[in-house]
């Protein structure tokens, strides 16, 4: 256990053996919301973190329960967007079929994510007391205000046909084909918020930023690995075609996608070695905490799990822990060792905290895993990937605790049917 000084303040890196006792603590002791709010400076960037519990509820319960019902729409949208902007196809689930191809909305969500990241990074350079003044000199803050206004307009347009209906579905939802996150969250709102389009617009921008970033990072790293290790592609394609043949060869279903165990292992190995951060399970300490070894976590500090260190720990992944092995989790046989990492992509344990840990683990991880797997299936069936001659894998960029896919990274792509890419 050690302490570093991050851009948010003192951060205590907690080894895996203490994570299980921390993950069960209530929000009065450890707050993931406060940690994220400080990381992205939500007080100034207005990114909806503290007040986005409706979106979290939708993603965690309603969307997760109805993945099979949104899958046909995802397939339709994916066939439409490939090979151009593959990272935009999850938008179908966020704003529905009428708005997901709206150029204004796509541009707004893409720019919003960048502006929040840049502005929050700039703000943290300055002392806390000065940030409420400094924000007015940051161009991205002004851009975020424009994005919020545009999002409010778009959400109002999407909901204008819902004014007269007030369905009561706090916990159980019959997920209809037209029910997307915009409509689904609206139906969860109390009456006083149903016409607050600024609130709902910011919520949709927050969902889009989280959903698109997670999927695009994972899929991009998988593509880089297919280019770097081309020997995996034939095996993965064979599995895909075998499953399609065994399931009748029609449209993909949740059950059929769930049978792609080699592909899931390949995805998790990319998540392990190329995670989107060097830490995980980030929390802010709100009340003093005494660990079982006597260590006291002081109020105002932050705690995190050493994700990068866990990912390459020989005690967990063996002597080849720093080597890419695409079928590591497929070949893994569970045994009595409690440190053994689970093979499922979305599992959250102290040895596999890639989507967080505890009750505040990523609420949309099942949807993110589904959209990433579906996208990789189609890309494997359509394209072949190679590194540029004489060049290696594009290197990630590490900024504070974030790990970002290198902007502008390129690989060679060949359409297997000779179509223009």
What is the average per-residue pLDDT within 136-163?
88
Query: Looking at per-residue confidence, does 85 or 376 come out higher?
Result: 376
> What whole-number distance in Å separates Cα of residue 129 and Cα of residue 136?
14
Helix (H) or strand (E) holding 415: strand 412-415
The pLDDT value given to residue 286: 94
The pLDDT value given to residue 97: 76
pLDDT > 80? residue 262: yes
At 421, the pLDDT band (50, 70, 90 cuts) reads: low
Give the distance from CA 6 to its chain's centroid: 22
CB 99, CB 160: distance < 8 Å? no
Nearest in space to 368 (alpha carbons), one of 354, 379, 358, 378: 354
Query: Looking at per-residue confidence, does 288 or 175 come out higher?
Result: 288
pLDDT > 70? residue 176: no
Give the distance from CA 220 to its chain's centroid: 13
| pLDDT tens digit sequence for 301-352 | 999 999 999 999 999 998 999 999 999 999 875 443 445 566 789 988 888 8
Nearest in space to 284 (alpha carbons), one of 25, 57, 1: 25
For 79-86, the CB contacts below 8 A with 24+ separation are 79/378, 82/378, 82/379, 82/382, 83/382, 83/383, 83/413, 83/415, 83/421, 86/216, 86/219, 86/375, 86/379
At 85, the pLDDT band (50, 70, 90 cuts) reads: low
pLDDT > 90? residue 222: yes
At 169, the pLDDT band (50, 70, 90 cuts) reads: very low
Number of C-beta neighbours around residue 414 at 10 A: 12
> What whole-number distance in Å separates Cα of residue 38 and Cα of residue 10?
12
At 297, the pLDDT band (50, 70, 90 cuts) reads: very high
Compute and round to an integer the Cα radius of gyration of the chain.
22
Query: Looking at per-residue confidence, does 171 or 137 come out higher?
Result: 137
The pLDDT value given to residue 223: 95
SS3 420: coil
What is the average per-residue pLDDT within 1-25?
88
The pLDDT value given to residue 339: 54
pTM higher than the cut 0.85: yes
The pLDDT value given to residue 171: 46
| pLDDT tens digit sequence for 51-75 | 878 888 888 888 888 888 889 888 8
The pLDDT value given to residue 419: 64
Give percent of the chain with pLDDT exceeding 90.
43
The pLDDT value given to residue 166: 47
Least confident of 28-32, 186-190, 329-333: 329-333
Is 100 within any annotated ligand binding site?
no
Q: Which residues contact 213 (CB under 8 A, 6 or more apart)?
A: 113, 276
Q: Checking DSSP bridges between strand 30-31 and strand 383-386, what pairing results, if any? A: unpaired
| pLDDT tens digit sequence for 195-211 | 899 999 999 898 888 87
| pLDDT tens digit sequence for 130-148 | 999 999 999 999 999 999 9
Binning the chain into helix, strand and coil, the percentages to the nearest 5 are 50, 10, 35
Q: How is residue 230 written in tokens?
A: 């081309």
Residue with tokens 């967007």: 81
At 172, the pLDDT band (50, 70, 90 cuts) reads: very low
Q: Which domains does the chain have, with CATH numbers?
A: 2-415 (1.10.630.10)
The pLDDT value given to residue 420: 57
C-alpha dist (Å) from residue 259 to 85, 264, 272, 356, 373: 27, 9, 21, 25, 11
> What whole-number distance in Å separates Cα of residue 240 and Cα of residue 35?
40
> What whole-number distance in Å separates Cα of residue 412 and Cα of residue 416?
13
Nearest in space to 103 (alpha carbons), one of 421, 111, 32: 111
Q: Checking DSSP bridges between strand 289-290 and strand 9-13, what pairing results, if any? A: unpaired
Q: How is residue 58 written in tokens?
A: 């939708």
């Amino acid at each position: 256990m050690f302490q570093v000084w991050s851009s948010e303040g003192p951060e205590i890196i907690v080894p895996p053996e203490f994570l299980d006792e921390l993950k069960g603590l209530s929000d009065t002791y450890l707050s993931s919301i406060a940690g994220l709010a400080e990381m992205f400076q939500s007080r100034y960037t207005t990114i909806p973190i503290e007040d986005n519990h409706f979106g979290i509820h939708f993603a965690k319960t309603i969307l997760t329960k109805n993945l099979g019902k949104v899958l046909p729409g995802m397939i339709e949208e994916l066939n439409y967007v490939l090979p151009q902007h593959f990272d935009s196809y999850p938008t179908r689930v966020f704003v529905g079929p009428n708005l997901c191809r709206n150029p204004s909305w796509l541009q707004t969500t893409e720019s919003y994510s960048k502006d929040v990241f840049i502005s929050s990074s700039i703000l943290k350079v300055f002392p806390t007391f000065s940030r409420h003044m400094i924000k007015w000199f940051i161009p991205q803050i002004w851009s975020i205000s424009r994005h919020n206004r545009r999002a409010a307009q778009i959400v109002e347009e999407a909901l204008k046909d819902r004014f007269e209906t007030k369905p009561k579905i706090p916990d159980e939802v019959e997920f209809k084909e037209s029910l997307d996150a915009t409509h689904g969250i609206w139906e969860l709102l109390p009456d006083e918020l149903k016409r607050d389009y600024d609130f709902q617009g910011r919520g949709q921008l927050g969902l889009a930023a989280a959903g698109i970033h997670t999927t695009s990072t994972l899929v991009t790293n998988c593509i880089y690995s297919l280019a770097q290790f081309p020997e995996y592609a034939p095996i993965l394609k064979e599995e895909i075609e075998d499953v399609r043949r065994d399931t009748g060869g029609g449209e993909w279903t949740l059950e059929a996608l769930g049978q792609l165990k080699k592909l899931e292992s390949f995805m998790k190995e990319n998540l392990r070695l190329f995670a989107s951060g060097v830490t995980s399970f980030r929390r802010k300490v709100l009340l003093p905490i005494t660990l079982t070894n006597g260590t006291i976590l002081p109020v105002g500090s932050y705690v995190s799990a050493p994700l990068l260190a866990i990912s390459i720990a020989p005690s967990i992944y063996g002597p080849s822990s720093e080597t890419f092995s695409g079928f590591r989790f497929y070949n893994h046989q569970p045994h009595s060792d409690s440190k053994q990492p689970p093979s499922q992509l979305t599992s959250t344990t102290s040895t596999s905290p890639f989507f967080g840990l505890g009750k505040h683990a990523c609420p949309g991880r099942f949807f993110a895993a589904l959209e990433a797997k579906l996208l990789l299936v189609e890309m494997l069936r359509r394209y072949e990937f190679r590194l540029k001659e004489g060049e290696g894998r594009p290197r990630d960029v590490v900024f504070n605790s974030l790990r970002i896919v290198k902007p502008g990274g390129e690989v060679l792509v060949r359409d297997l049917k000779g179509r223009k890419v």
